[in-house]
Structure 1
């Protein structure tokens, strides 16, 4: 678990931000750590971009090292509410030598809390480093620009609207129920407790951070919360912590059945079930309790709108044939939650 001590003043300085380049880095990270969690259209766009432009170094570094950590300089800290792609790419290209060396040490050797033996560094990365950290930063910035152009640029207006709508919805939740309640709704992995944030992670490690603020960044391609930054004071160019959290699904992506007929929650569930998902996965993506999701899934299943299949010990739901005019395709799902 990661613990971020904020206090009331730090909570008051906590803010939201949009970061196009963060979204691109999130997709690379998700594809490496758990590709089955990424929707197929994004898998296809990312794969085509990496393959056609031969962005080999980006694929190696963006997926994270043997311990799962991907260097933070690839996803620069958002200095304002909205940071342009060009500005973020400039931040990447001008990252200090000391910062790059520090982050690559973490990526290849692991954090101090992780004693898992590290594998041999990728040959491609070692070859790039032979030309120096500055060359590495500029090459990553160039490959990130190409990846963004092919995989994201045509879709960004729609994605930006979705992310702005997400932040607006969080603002409404803050106005109605307070900031603490809104933070607790970002992800099942994030909890406000006793003047700070608990971020529940996989693995036994513990990390405690004192911070003046946290930046909250919505992401349309991540199904889980991702922690970045939060460096000790003696770190080269220390960065404040920020959290990428899964953004809400827009109501406009619902199937042909209208919200007025089936309700907002069930419309959002149907929008998520173009591919098979478990109750737990749906609860995490939509920031709902498992009990709430299970209740609505049972009603949709009895109405004939969903197919249900068993794989190992898990139950998967998907749109039934005819629910959106397409087959459900629920054979042998691989991902479990």
Structure 2
């Protein structure tokens, strides 16, 4: 897929700033979420310009062959020359981890007037691409038809390019959120944003996002701040429009390891060797932690005491095989990317039976 346009590098050409003004209530309402639709849209920028990140070249090579049946002209028209994307196609997640279909349903409900506004704002000051121009300049029925066509196209693209790798991507994103939550607990907002990206700066209740293509201030007014770690984001990405409540997509940690498991040299673990390495109790725990679970729930499923489970979880966490994050009064554990690779092919031997 060709790189479009011959504009200078965007990160150098623009040096404006977007600022989020956050009060005490907004910091209390700061939360994290996953967005499969955000990742789907952001991946289009890597397809358009592979130079954005060499880390994603294995992924890009693996998906290009499957895009032939898709209308790639319409798909790539969503990425502006400045690499901005339409806000209406990245709705705010309604919960911690909505499904792709749930988010796409929200897009289908967007009024034509907003679709028209967001597409024009995304590409401004450039003219709309030909693939969008006729529909956007038409009546509401034409805009609604374009919106639905984009939803159908994005669903096809998701199936080919993102869904097969979404479980691995989700592990990386959740590991990042675990780390960030710990930073917030240890040092507040200043430590949370300290190493998120060089373009971010926290000062006197304001989050400054540098090297943007526009400049404006957004007061949260109690709406909080939504943080969305991303595999495909190469720098912080707030909404294009200042009318959208404060949210920030930022580059996730751990992306460098994401595509390692797709290599031909990756081999499945020997189930018997896994049990020998970890011991049967810890291997069974690792098998259960495909989803986030608390110590009490793990103990219930294994029919043992929570203290027995806690001992094994401490070891698994110390060796990097599981991640943990606090959710209210509970601590939830989940397999890390390393734990996933260790478990590959070992499920048959690691049956979940009582007794630890």
TM-score with structure 2 setting the length: 0.61
Q: Which residue of 1 aligns with 2:145?
A: 135
Q: Secondary structure at the match of 1:228?
A: coil
Distance 2:202 2:66 in 1: 38
SS at match of 2:68: helix
Q: Deviations over 1:140-159 (max 9, x none)?
A: 11111011100011111111
Distance of 1:109 and 1:229 partners within structure 2: 11
Matches within 5 A, 1:258-273: none
What 5-or-longer segments of structure 2 have no aligned partner?
1-16, 266-356
**Aligned twin of 1:43:** 60
**Helix, strand or coil for the counterpart of 1:197?**
strand
Structure 2 residue 46 is the aligned partner of structure 1 residue 25: no
Q: Check whether the contact 1:159–1:220 (CA below 8 A) recurs between aligned residues.
A: yes
Q: Secondary structure at the match of 1:152?
A: helix
Q: Aligned ranges for residues 184-333 of structure 1 at < 5 Å?
A: 184-202=194-212, 205-211=214-220, 212-228=223-239, 231-232=242-243, 239-249=244-254
Match of 1:121 in 2: 128
Instruction: Rate the CA distance shift 1:230–1:101 in 2: closer, same or farther, 3 A.
Output: closer
Higher-Rg member (1/2): 2
**Structure-2 separation of matches of 1:93 and 1:48:** 28
Q: 1:137 to 1:252 in 2, by over 3 A?
A: closer
Q: How far apart in 1 are the matches of 2:237 and 2:166?
A: 21
Separation in 2 of the partners of 1:81 and 1:151?
23
User: Which residue of 93, 105, 110 corresponds with 1:95?
Assistant: 110
Q: How many residue pairs end up in the alignment?
A: 238
Cα deviation 1:261-293 (Å, max 9, x = unaligned): xxxxxxxxxxxxxxxxxxxxxxxxxxxxxxxxx
Displacement of 1:229 after TM fit?
Answer: 5.5
Please say if 1:12 is aligned against 2:28.
yes
Instruction: Report the CA distance shift for 1:109/1:37 in structure 2 as closer, same or farther (over 3 A).
Output: closer
In 1: Cα distance, 2:224 partner to 2:66 partner: 35
8 Å CA contact retained: 2:112, 2:143:
yes
Decide whether the 8 Å contact of 2:91 with 2:103 is kept in 1: yes
Give the SS at the match of 1:18.
coil
Q: 2:74 aligns with which of 57, 61, 70?
A: 57
CA displacement at 1:171 relative to structure 2: 1.4
User: In the TM superposition, what whole-angstrom CA distance separates every residue of 1:5-54 from its partner, at most 9, and x where no partner exists?
Assistant: 1122212211110001100111113444x430232123224533443323
Q: Is the 8 A contact 2:67 2:160 kept in 1?
A: no
Cα deviation digits, residues 197-221 of structure 1 (max 9, x gap)? 0001245x42111113221101112
d(CA) in 2 for partners of 1:41, 1:60: 23
> What secondary structure does 1:208 align onto?
strand
Matched residue, 1:158: 168
TM-score, normalised by the number of residues in structure 1: 0.65
Does the 8 A contact of 2:120 with 2:128 survive in 1? no
Matched with 1:313 is: none
Contact 1:45/1:150 (<8 A) preserved: no
